[in-house]
Amino acid sequence: MKAPLHPVRRAQQRGVALLIALVILAIAATLSTGMIWNRELDIRRTANIIHGDQAMEYALGAEAWAEQILRRDFKQNGTVTDLTQDWAMQLPPLPVQGGSITGRLQDLQSLFNVNNLASTNAPQAAAALQQFQRLLMALNIDPVIANAVADWVNAGMQPQAPGGAGDEFYSRLTPPYLTAERPMSDISELLLVKGVTPAIYTQLLPYVCALPLQPPGSAPAMAMPPTAININTAPAVVLMSLNTGISAEAAAAAVRVRTQHPFQSAQQLTQLLQGITTAPGILTSLTSDYFRLTAQVRIGSTQITLYSLLYRNQTGGTLAIRRTFGTL
């Protein structure tokens, strides 16, 4: 027969048992907390995926709506594109299930197309280079940057002086790279060009774009004329670039007049510019084929921004030719 445990020994065993129970309880609590955290994380991830999919569908819906607006405006207004038409109206945020959506259209032919520097028509390409130089000077930016951009979008050219740059310049950078030697596919390529700092890029962005020189779906052609600038939608700085001697005051006055009475001919703009016509080789128009949709969708805590490059052909048909999310 075993002798009974000493009271002190019994108390020690009870203490050890209590300590083991507390450790087990702590482990269980930790595991439970981890399981709850992982479950909440999975719920949040699933919600973000669902919200992201919903936001994507709403953004694509906004794109379809924009194409419909462009087709309707073409039927109503024919070949004239101006800022009094429905497509140019800024909509307030529209409520949708779980969030909101905003969208606006911008006429990209109101801006200078840097790919005009790559036109296969030599006189028009030279005129585009001079126009870009005037645009840079109007913005107090060094005009020699125009030469570097021309070198970037043209193949097989010796660097233009002053300020031009070819592969021998870019290959010495860190990291090294080569010139594109083709028209830009996106205006953000400007950041790769010699002399274009982030500050200069930000300053230029409201006035420049990168549009294809051949319409989508058209057969390849040897001749690639520059895209025309719509004088009904171009900002004052772009109007100043149309020729030497156009003052900021005259360009601003032209913008004010067309706000109420859009131009019906190029001669109306010439009169407002005190007789100064567009420089030879620069194309202008009263209509536009290229537009950019900016659609912002917020669903719950998810937000996406869609940029769509839309093309409207000569019969009013529309086509989305490029989409980007988050950045231009």
Tokens of 205: 């962005």
Q: Cβ neighbours of residue 211 under 8 Å, at least 6 residues apart?
A: 108, 109, 113, 115, 227, 290
Residue 258's CB is within 10 A of a number of other CB atoms, namely: 21
How much is the pTM?
0.84
**How many angstroms separate the CA atoms of 83 and 89, rounded?**
8
Strand, helix or coil for residue 113: strand
SS (H, E, C) 156-215: CCCCCCCCCCCHHHHCCCCCCCCCCCCCCCCHHHHHHCCCCCHHHHHHHHHHEECCCCCC
Q: Distance of CA 156 to CAs 130, 145, 181, Å?
A: 20, 19, 7
Tokens of 280: 């030879």
pLDDT string in tens for the chain (328-residue length)? 555 555 656 666 666 777 787 788 778 777 777 777 666 666 566 667 788 888 889 999 999 999 999 999 999 988 899 999 999 988 788 898 888 999 999 999 999 999 999 998 889 999 999 999 999 999 999 999 999 999 999 987 688 878 889 999 999 999 999 999 999 999 999 999 999 999 999 999 999 999 998 888 776 665 677 899 999 999 999 999 999 999 999 999 999 999 999 999 999 999 999 899 999 999 999 999 999 999 999 998 889 999 999 999 989 999 999 999 887 6
**Nearest CA-CA partner of 159 in 183, 135, 168:** 168
Pure H helices in the chain: 7-77, 122-138, 145-153, 167-170, 198-204, 236-240, 248-260, 266-272
Pairing mode, strands 290-299 and 99-107: antiparallel
Query: Please, what sign has the CA dihedral across residues 163, 167, 168, 172?
Result: positive
Asked: is 111-214+221-285 a CATH 3.10.450.50 domain? The reply is: no
Strand, coil or helix: 123:
helix
Rounded Cα–Cα distance for residues 207 and 113 (Å): 9
Residue 50 CB contacts under 8 Å (≥ 6 apart), including other chains: none
Output the pLDDT for position 214: 85
Other beta carbons within 10 angstroms of residue 271's beta carbon come to 13
CB-based contact 235:109 (threshold 8 Å)? no
Instruction: Give the residue among 213, 209, 10, 235 at the shortest CA–CA distance from 125.
Output: 213
Residue among 135, 134, 130, 170 at smallest CA distance from 150:
130
Query: What are the residue ranges spanned by the domains of the chain?
Result: 111-214+221-285
